[in-house]
Amino acid sequence: MKNYNYLVIFKIYIFLLVKKYIYIIISIEGVMIDMGFMFYIWIVIMVVSVIIEISTTDLTSLWFAVGAFVSLIINLFLKDDLIYVQILVFALVSIVAIFVLRPILKKKINTPKVATNVDAMIGKQVLVVSPINLNKPGIIKFEGIEWTAITEDVECEPGDFVYISKINGNTVIVNKEKKEGN
């Protein structure tokens, strides 16, 4: 609960900080500048793109935020006079960022895939509870749970330790020796 409170305070602080600097950026000697309609459109596109990126983490919508940011900077100079230039810059920067920067960033933050659920069982050593013959399934125990098991190579007796090589439905396929890649 305490971490949540710190997070809320941090978000409020960031919001106030950003709001303060936006007012500094868009004011000259205390006189507010009319930013025009597209200024707010670019801000909305940036915020929505970042929110979508945070929720998906696939590095796809982040680049639209980059394009919107560049268009926002251009909007500061052009206002709403040349909207098509802003839209063209947005499209070009977003496309270039997707095809050039995305693969580079994907390699930098390449997260390893973690085996979960049934996939995490493959390669684990388990105890044989009932005999497993080549033509008759037996029972193994994995983390206190009994599973139906068949073998690919040799017969297994109760008390033997075997390795899980595959899972086919609710049947575990085991081997006496650990296979490569498991």
pLDDT digits (tens, 9 = 90+) for 120-178: 778 888 888 888 887 788 888 888 888 888 887 778 888 888 888 888 878 888 887 76
Q: 120 or 181, which is more confident?
A: 120
Whether the per-residue pLDDT at 30 is higher than 50: the answer is no
pLDDT of residue 29: 43
SS3 call for 49: helix
Pair 58, 76: CB distance under 8 Å = no
| Average pLDDT over every residue of 36-63 | 85
| pTM metric for this prediction | 0.47
Taking the CA of residue 89 as centre, how many other CA atoms within 13 Å lie in the half-sphere pointing to its CB? 17
Q: Terminus-to-terminus CA distance in the chain, angstroms?
A: 40
- Residue 65: its pLDDT value, please? 92
Residue 132: CB atoms within 10 A of its CB come to 24
CB 40 within 8 A of CB 70: no
Spell out the domains of the chain, with CATH numbers in brackets: 2-108 (no CATH), 117-175 (2.40.50.140)
Confidence tier at 70 by pLDDT (50, 70, 90): very high
Q: What is the pLDDT of residue 33?
A: 46
> Which pLDDT does position 35 carry in this prediction?
59
**How far is 95 from 63, CA to CA, in rounded Å?**
8
Per-residue pLDDT, 133: 82
